[in-house]
Structure 1
Amino acid sequence: MNFASIDFETANEKRFSPCAIGVVVANENEILDEFYSLINPLMEFTSFNTYIHGITESDVSDAPTFPQVWPTLYNYLSQNTVVAHNASFDMSVLRQTLDYFNLTYPNMDYLCTANISKRVWPDLINHKLNTLASHHGIRFEHHHALEDARVAAKILMTALAAYQAGSMDFFLEKCQMTKGRIYEHGYVPPRSKPVRRKRKLYF
């Protein structure tokens, strides 16, 4: 049951400005592979984004561009289930950057570990990545693409263990969730079916 966890950092508010990518390949038991690269977005950085992730224009001056990194990323993502925390952001970065550079889309499904954590651990105060990491005793450097991807992978691994799921389909069935999917110039988001709550009886 292999999956790939990803995280992007961007240079500015444009979704097609990735400046770092982290990928972690894992299964229900262990991390199998990791990949990290800075990316030269070929555009300016904003001070706000640099404040968040600490990456500057000088840091990426000799880094590969997204089209140069894409063949490696494509091999990680295509024909795989891909997860990300707040996946709507990372999938938007991926889609808009592929469109911007006119690159081939991967054939991939995706899931959001933020939504999964809401279903598996509904009583947490919130479901931010750092809150979940603290709850599960995971120490990491927030807003570093590889470390964020690694935490998202560990969150899914922990959720699979909590549901004693031997397959992703079984896990999603128990969670009442469906995978999302991206395709050229479009996407279908993951869905969470409403959970029926037991009515309280008053006498």
Structure 2
Amino acid sequence: MNPHTQADLPRFDAGLRFVALDVETACSDPASICQIGIACVGLDNSIRTWTTYVNPQVAFSPFNTQLHGIGPAHVRHAPGFAETVALLEPLLAGQPVIQHSSFDRRAIHGACAAIGRVVPPWQWGDSVRIARMGWPEFKGNGGHGLAHLKQRLGLSFRHHDAGEDARAAAEVVLLAEERTGLGFDALLGWVRTAR
């Protein structure tokens, strides 16, 4: 497997609204990232995804491998986290980064700490929070996890694949915006300034 380059990342000449990010991990340590996926949402709400395996340089737990289907053979020739985050940082530095729950941010921060790297200054938002604003009736009635949202909102994706989960998080944001008539900034309570 050839390492990815900057040219492999999704491009939107007109610009991006936000990027959704998801990770899968090799074991219970959030820093053990073995796959990263992003879903880039253009100004026209079109979505382009990008996914890569990441060599976590730790042992895989059977539980995690059973969950997402990724094992040592998948990551043997994959880039390490340092190379992958360096590739993503220029794209994500200027965009809101949406995760579904706080796990992905913790994983990125943990993986940065594990290699002694400064954490990228990404502006994180949470699509769970957005889903709670869009569908408050799901509280106590299945919740706002991706598996339940997949069923209730008719989403089509393969759960526990980083690229697929990132796309699903992006779709949740877009559907919540449509349902509420509010942009994700308002749903998150952000006050954005012009760049």
TM-score interval w.r.t. the shorter chain? 0.7 to 0.9
TM-score norm. by structure 2 comes to 0.82
Cα distance, 1:29 vs structure 2: 4.1
Is 1:137 the counterpart of 2:154 in the alignment? yes
1:128 paired with 2:142, answer no
Equivalent in the alignment of 2:104: 90
Taking a change above 3 Å as real, the CA distance of residues 33 and 140 of structure 1, as seen in their structure-2 partners, is closer
Of 13, 17, 25, 1:10 maps to 25
Q: 2:117 aligns with which of 64, 89, 103?
A: 103
Is the contact made by 2:39 and 2:49 (CA closer than 8 Å) also made in structure 1?
Answer: yes
- SS of residue in 2 equivalent to 1:14: coil
* C-alpha RMSD over aligned residues: 1.8
Residue 117 of structure 1 deviates from its aligned partner by 0.8
- Answer yes or no: is 1:35 the counterpart of 2:15: no
Indicate conservation of the 8 Å contact 2:134/2:177, yes or no: no
Q: Does 1:81 align with 2:92?
A: no
Deviates more, 1:106-115 or 1:47-56: 106-115
CA distance in 2, matches of 1:30, 1:178: 19
Judge conservation of contact 2:51–2:162 (CA < 8 Å) in 1. yes
Which ranges of structure 1 fall in alignment gaps of 5 or more residues?
A: 180-203
Are 1:56 and 2:71 counterparts?
Answer: yes
Per-residue deviation, 1:75: 2.0
| Aligned-residue offset at 1:157 | 0.7
Structure 2 unmatched runs, 5+ = 1-15
Matched, 1:68 2:78: no
Quick one: distance in 2 between partners of 1:32 and 1:158? 13
User: 1:160: Cα distance to partner?
Assistant: 1.3
Secondary structure of 1:62's partner? coil
Q: Is the 8 A contact 1:28 1:157 kept in 2?
A: no
Cα-to-partner distance string for 1:115-173 (whole Å, 9 max, x where unaligned): 211121011221110211222211111100000000000000111122223x544x23x
* Correspondence for 2:36: 21
- 1:157-176 aligned at under 5 Å gives the runs 157-165=174-182, 167-169=183-185, 171-172=186-187
Distance 1:75 1:34, change over 3 A: farther
Which residue of the partner structure matches residue 154 of structure 1?
A: 171
SS in 1 for 2:91: helix
1:4/1:25 contact within 8 Å kept: yes
Scaled by the length of structure 1, the TM-score of the pair is 0.79
- Secondary structure of the 2:137 match is coil
- How big is the shift at 1:78? 0.9
Percent identity between matched residues is 29
Match of 1:115 among 106, 129, 133: 129
